[in-house]
């Protein structure tokens, strides 16, 4: 029976595990990295890296340069559930990068190996035993490895989280479920499709999902998926996927694609575990629940928590201290300070989207400041406090509600004037429509804009007539004085409204 003793054993060679392994080994400590999969292995994922990943880990820029398949992303488009509103983001600097996870993860493992990490793939754990001074792992082939501290980097269904008692299982409302596929497409075809289209398309709340559907363009692949909270999963998720593909196809975003071999995957989608450390154990990446609960971004947090866990272990090893629960508390303190607040703000924003999914994108469509705020949160460029987000959102709601209400009232008044002016069933009909619209506006609390902004051809004709009346009152003798005054008043009011509309729009 072989027996090997290490300073640190890391279970799971995803981005979190490889990163932790690399940093610890670079300090000269003995590290074992094990994974049950045979590498290179694929991981069902969008494969989008935000820009801050390379800002924090410059060596990853090297990997991206080396991988000919990675690609920069400069633009994206987010659609509201009704598809009525959309917000675009275009940047001169890359917003992020697209990678193939099989290649990217394998490169990270190679970097760890170069730093001195011992790596064993296809390693199947039979048992994990927490002793007084060490942790022992027995494999299914009965080899034993032992360490001073174990790091659980084994993803959302973490065995180490279970064995250490830190997380026996996630609740369905803490998990997201996804269906996806990465379609192989000829590179030239992708280039052609990409000519006028965005690199990323996000359809929030597609088909009433409490989640979103995504389309990511890569070098010679298109990654398309849908995801929602497991507790709110629809029975017909596959059907929704087919509908999504049909929509993209209709919009000319993608060519005809053969939908088969769809993959399913889970992702933690709430706050991280309350406790991510224990006696001789740390959890990192998905195992700890470090994911942006709004966008599903997990790679940045996997890499960052790997780095922070390494920092903690290095400090303890250098000081010669034990890996007691008390000493490992440092890890939780460090990640809370690093990205803990950010994850809380994101969850707060997601709760907003729960109630006002349409509104979030509608306001991003209408209000540049709000759009920048949510883009910053989603892309992780800037941490924005819950209070600032709430204030701006409520301000947008109020601003557009007042604006909509104002125009609704003016609309109704103008219909009343028209009624006096012209009489007849047509005008009566217009008046009723105006009134109805006003009622709808009140009922929906400003959610739906009245068609007032889109001046109808019919209305234009009326305006032309009124204008004629004003310009040539003598020619229109048949119009009585009262109508004339009404017309003038309406014109002045309209000019005032236009000015107000412009000033509100630019507010
Ligand atoms: C559908 C989907 C799309 C996503 N899209 C994006 C995206 O576009 N951008 C983004 O930033 N994030 C995305 N994420 C999240 C991202 O994939 C994860 O947050 C990230 O992979 C977490 O890295 P990790 O190293 O913690 O875990 P993983 O990458 O899951 O790696 C865990 C490793 O542990 C191994 N393992 C598991 N159990 C054991 C065991 N018992 N013994 C040994 N080894 C074990 C596995 O084989 C695996 O290699 C997405 C997630 C999903 C599900």
C-alpha–C-alpha distance, residues 21 and 42, integer Å: 20
> 491: Cβ below 6 Å to ligand 1?
no
Average pLDDT over residues 215-230: 92
**Residue 143: how many other CB atoms lie within 10 Å:** 15
CB–CB of 64/98 below 8 Å?
A: no
Question: Residue 156 gets which letter from DSSP?
Answer: T
Name the pLDDT band for 430 (thresholds 50, 70, 90): low
Average pLDDT over residues 414-440: 57
- 51-104, pLDDT tens digit by residue? 999 999 999 999 999 887 888 888 888 898 888 888 888 888 888 999 999 999
- The pair of structure tokens assigned to 221 is 């692949």
Name the pLDDT band for 457 (thresholds 50, 70, 90): very low
Q: Which of 10, 11, 14 to mutate to test the pocket of ligand 1 (most atoms within 8 A of CB)?
A: 14
pLDDT at 235 over 50: yes
- 392-420, pLDDT tens digit by residue? 888 888 888 887 787 777 767 766 665 55
- 15-28, pLDDT tens digit by residue? 999 999 999 999 99
The Å distance, Cα 151 to ligand 1 centre, comes to: 15
- 304: closest CA among 331, 329, 279, 281? 331
The Å distance, Cα 18 to ligand 1 centre, comes to: 12
> 125: Cβ below 6 Å to ligand 1?
yes
Average pLDDT over residues 315-334: 98
- Per-residue pLDDT at 464: 57
The Å distance, Cα 19 to ligand 1 centre, comes to: 13
- Per-residue pLDDT at 433: 60
Smallest CA separation from ligand 1 atom 21, residue = 299
Q: Which of 202, 229, 296 to mutate to test the pocket of ligand 1 (most atoms within 8 A of CB)?
A: 296
User: Which is the closest atom of ligand 1 to the Cα of 18?
Assistant: 25
- 102: closest CA among 49, 47, 40? 40
- The pair of structure tokens assigned to 208 is 């009433």
Using the CB atoms, write b or e for 408-428: b if 16+ within 10 Å. bebbbebbbbbbebeeeeebe
- The pair of structure tokens assigned to 347 is 């969850």
> 153: Cβ below 6 Å to ligand 1?
yes
pLDDT at 311 over 80: yes
**Residue 478: how many other CB atoms lie within 10 Å:** 7
Average pLDDT over residues 192-207: 80
- 57: closest CA among 108, 94, 10? 108
pLDDT at 426 over 70: no
Name the pLDDT band for 450 (thresholds 50, 70, 90): very low
CB–CB of 22/117 below 8 Å?
A: yes
> 211: Cβ below 6 Å to ligand 1?
no
The Å distance, Cα 26 to ligand 1 centre, comes to: 24
Name the pLDDT band for 45 (thresholds 50, 70, 90): very high
Q: What percent of the chain stands above pLDDT 90? A: 50
**Domain annotation for the chain: domains and CATH numbers:** 3-342 (3.50.50.60), 397-505 (no CATH)
- Per-residue pLDDT at 451: 38
Question: Residue 451 gets which letter from DSSP?
Answer: G
Residue found by looking up tokens 């675009």 in the block: 88
> What average pLDDT is seen over the chain?
84
256: which residues sit within 8 A by CB, 6+ positions away? Answer: 249
- Cα 383–Cα 389–Cα 393 angle in degrees, nearest 5: 150
C-alpha–C-alpha distance, residues 30 and 159, integer Å: 22
- 179-188, pLDDT tens digit by residue? 999 999 887 7
Average pLDDT over residues 428-432: 56
Q: What percent of the chain stands above pLDDT 70? A: 79
Smallest CA separation from ligand 1 atom 44, residue = 35
Average pLDDT over residues 448-458: 40
**Contacts of range 389-392, beta carbons closer than 8 Å, 24 or more positions apart:** 389/345, 389/348, 389/349, 389/352, 390/348, 390/352, 392/367
CB–CB of 71/48 below 8 Å?
A: no
- Per-residue pLDDT at 18: 98
Q: If DSSP codes are grouped into helix, strand and coil, which group holds residue 118?
A: strand
pLDDT at 462 over 60: no
The Å distance, Cα 97 to ligand 1 centre, comes to: 17
Q: Which of 101, 102, 298 to mutate to test the pocket of ligand 1 (most atoms within 8 A of CB)?
A: 298
- Per-residue pLDDT at 454: 40
Residue found by looking up tokens 């300073």 in the block: 7
Could you list the beta-strand ranges (E) of 321-364: none
- 242-301, pLDDT tens digit by residue? 999 999 999 888 888 889 899 999 999 988 999 999 999 999 999 999 999 888 999 999
Name the pLDDT band for 367 (thresholds 50, 70, 90): confident
C-alpha–C-alpha distance, residues 122 and 137, integer Å: 15
Phi and psi of 264, rounded to 5°?
Answer: -110, 150
- The pair of structure tokens assigned to 62 is 């090297």
User: Which is the closest atom of ligand 1 to the Cα of 305?
Assistant: 26
């Amino acid at each position: 029976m072989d027996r090997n003793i290490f300073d640190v054993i890391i279970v799971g060679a995803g981005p979190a595990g490889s990163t932790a392994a690399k940093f610890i080994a670079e300090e000269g400590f003995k590290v074992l990295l094990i994974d049950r999969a045979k590498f290179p292995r694929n991981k069902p994922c969008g494969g989008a890296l935000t820009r801050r990943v390379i800002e924090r880990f410059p060596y990853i820029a090297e990997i991206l340069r080396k991988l000919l398949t990675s690609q920069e992303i400069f633009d994206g488009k987010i659609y509201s559930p009704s598809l009525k509103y959309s917000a675009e983001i275009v940047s001169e600097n890359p917003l992020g990068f697209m990678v193939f996870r099989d290649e990217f993860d394998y490169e990270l493992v190679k970097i760890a190996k170069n730093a001195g990490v011992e790596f064993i793939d296809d390693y199947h754990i039979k048992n994990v035993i927490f002793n007084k001074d060490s942790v022992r792992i027995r494999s299914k082939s009965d080899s034993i490895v032992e360490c001073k501290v174990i790091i659980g980097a084994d993803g959302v269904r973490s065995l180490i989280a279970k064995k250490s008692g830190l997380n026996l299982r996630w609740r369905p409302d803490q998990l997201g479920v996804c269906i996806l596929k990465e379609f192989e497409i000829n590179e030239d075809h992708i280039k052609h499709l990409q000519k006028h289209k965005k690199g990323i398309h996000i359809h929030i709340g597609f088909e009433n999902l409490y989640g979103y559907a995504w389309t990511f363009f890569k070098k010679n692949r298109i990654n398309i998926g849908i995801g929602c909270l497991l507790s709110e999963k629809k029975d017909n998720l596959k059907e929704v996927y087919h509908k999504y593909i049909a929509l993209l196809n209709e919009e000319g975003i993608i060519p005809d694609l053969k939908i088969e071999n769809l993959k399913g995957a889970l992702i933690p989608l709430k706050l991280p575990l309350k406790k991510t450390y224990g006696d001789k154990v740390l959890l990192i990446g998905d195992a700890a629940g470090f994911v942006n609960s709004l966008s599903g971004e997990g790679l940045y947090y996997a890499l960052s928590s790997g780095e922070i866990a390494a920092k903690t272990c290095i400090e303890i090893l250098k000081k010669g201290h034990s890996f007691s629960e008390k000493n490992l508390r440092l890890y939780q303190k460090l990640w809370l300070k690093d990205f803990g607040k950010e994850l809380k703000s994101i969850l707060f924003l997601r709760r907003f989207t729960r109630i006002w999914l349409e509104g979030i994108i509608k306001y991003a469509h209408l209000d540049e400041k709000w759009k920048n705020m949510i883009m910053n949160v989603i892309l992780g460029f800037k941490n924005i406090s819950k209070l600032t987000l709430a204030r701006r959102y409520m301000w947008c709601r109020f601003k557009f509600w007042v604006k909509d209400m104002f125009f609704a009232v003016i609309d109704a008044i103008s219909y009343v004037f028209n009624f006096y002016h012209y009489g007849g069933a047509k005008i009566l009909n217009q008046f009723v429509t105006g009134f109805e619209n006003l009622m709808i506006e009140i009922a929906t609390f400003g959610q739906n804009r009245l068609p007032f902004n889109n001046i109808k051809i019919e209305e234009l004709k009326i305006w032309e007539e009124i204008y004629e009346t004003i310009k040539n009152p003598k020619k229109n003798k048949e119009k009585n004085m009262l109508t004339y005054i009404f017309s003038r008043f309406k014109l002045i009011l309209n000019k005032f409204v236009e000015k107000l509309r412009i000033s509100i729009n630019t507010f």
